[in-house]
Chain A
Amino acid sequence: MNHPGMDGKPDVRSDPATWVDAHGAALLAYAMPRVRDQLTAEDLVQETFLAALKADNFRGDAQERTWLISILRNKICDHFRRLARERAQPGGDAVDVVEDAQFAPHMGSDGWAKAPGRWLVDDETLMANREFWEIFHSCLGALPSRQAAAFVLRMMEDVEAERVCQDLEITATNLWVMLHRARCRLRACLEERWFTS
């Protein structure tokens, strides 16, 4: 691997291929679990390289990977902010049919329509199971886009709650309700597609 900066300085600007070889796979690996589909991930990696090429504080040192990842992280957050804005619907966040379908009136109170099943798998097994994460990402991709944006920004990117509220133009209460619905849907989706099959 000819990592720029490690041995002399092959200038990345004269041939971006060295960059793609040095960091492409790592950046894609970072983007994939967050955005789910390969094409979006590739686009974001592409934008990251382009922004880095144009940057004044261009670096060719050992911290280059970290620097690129931080640019990529911003690109990912921007992507979800854009998605959330594009798909904003007036009043569209008021109810969630999937959340509602989880519960059924039972003796005057909303009980579980179908109680959560037993998940008999430990964390380590799930972490290492590729098929589980494929299903997880397919479930994440099936969320309404504002719920997905809230979930990714808050739960995956650790963006502060206030910032996510600004991005999605919602109140703090709306945010946790949205996260709640996202979890409800993810849990039900995983249970149906992974834990009971």
Chain B
Amino acid sequence: MKRFTSCKEAAKAVAEAMEHDLPLYRRFALNFHLLVCSACRRYRSQVIGLNRLVRRHVREPNQVVVELDSDTRQRLVDRLRQANATPTGGTLSTGNDHTPGGTPVTP
């Protein structure tokens, strides 16, 4: 079947429409394509579903079972104690570090 928009273009337009409103003509072309093409309809519902799942996934951390095993715990504690004991690394009153994590940190 000859279509105004190819499936490749349609898939791209689906993504663009997620970021901003499409110009009228392109919206019409996309909607028409979706009307006649079940593969792109399915693609669209899958990527929209994926967005929805990913958003829930990062907002419902309970779903991720993470346990602090004793090794990990010990590693974290050791490194923190070390940094805390070193005057240069873990000074408590530098006075100029007012934005923790706000700026890129070079390791």
Q: Does B26 contact A (CB under 8 A)?
A: no
Instruction: Known contacts A33-B58, A180-B12; decide if A48 and B101 are in contact (CB<8 Å).
Output: yes
Q: Does B100 contact A (CB under 8 A)?
A: yes
Residue among A29, A48, A175 facing the most chain B CB atoms (10 A cut-off):
A29
The reply to whether A155 and B54 contact each other, CB–CB distance below 8 Å, is yes
Closest Cβ of chain B to A138, distance in Å, is 14
The reply to whether A29 and B77 contact each other, CB–CB distance below 8 Å, is no
Measured between alpha carbons, how far is A28 from B68 in the docked complex, in Å? 8
Q: Is the interface of B mostly helix, strand, loop or mixed?
A: helix
Measured between alpha carbons, how far is A126 from B46 in the docked complex, in Å? 13
The reply to whether B101 and A42 contact each other, CB–CB distance below 8 Å, is no
Contact with B6, one of A56, A111, A123 (Cβ below 8 angstroms) = A111
The reply to whether A25 and B2 contact each other, CB–CB distance below 8 Å, is no
Q: Does A78 contact B (CB under 8 A)?
A: yes
Which residues of chain B have C-beta atoms less than 8 A from A46's C-beta? Answer: 76, 79-80
Which residues of chain B have C-beta atoms less than 8 A from A172's C-beta? Answer: 19
Q: Does B53 contact A (CB under 8 A)?
A: yes
Q: Does A32 contact B (CB under 8 A)?
A: yes
Q: Is the interface of A mostly helix, strand, loop or mixed?
A: helix
Instruction: Known contacts A29-B61, A123-B56; decide if A161 and B100 are in contact (CB<8 Å).
Output: no
Q: Does A94 contact B (CB under 8 A)?
A: no
Contact with A116, one of B2, B46, B98 (Cβ below 8 angstroms) = B46
Measured between alpha carbons, how far is A29 from B72 in the docked complex, in Å? 13
Measured between alpha carbons, how far is A128 from B87 in the docked complex, in Å? 45
The reply to whether A51 and B80 contact each other, CB–CB distance below 8 Å, is no
A residues 47-96 in Cβ contact with B at 8 Å: 47-58, 70-75, 78, 81-82
Q: How many A residues face the partner with a CB closer than 8 A?
A: 75
Q: Does A127 contact B (CB under 8 A)?
A: yes
Nearest-neighbor residue (CB-CB) of B17 within chain A: A176
Q: Does A163 contact B (CB under 8 A)?
A: no
The reply to whether A54 and B94 contact each other, CB–CB distance below 8 Å, is yes
Nearest-neighbor residue (CB-CB) of A85 within chain B: B104
Which residues of chain A have C-beta atoms less than 8 A from B100's C-beta? Answer: 51-52, 54-55, 71, 74
The reply to whether A32 and B66 contact each other, CB–CB distance below 8 Å, is yes
The reply to whether A118 and B42 contact each other, CB–CB distance below 8 Å, is yes
Q: Which 9 A-B pairs have the closest CB atoms?
A: A180-B15, A16-B80, A51-B100, A74-B101, A110-B8, A115-B39, A71-B101, A110-B6, A29-B66
Which residues of A approach B to under 8 Å, CB–CB? 13, 15-17, 19-21, 24-26, 28-30, 32-34, 38, 42, 45-58, 70-75, 78, 81-82, 102-103, 107-112, 115-116, 118-119, 123, 126-128, 130, 133, 136, 155-157, 161, 172, 175-177, 179-180, 183-184, 186-187, 190
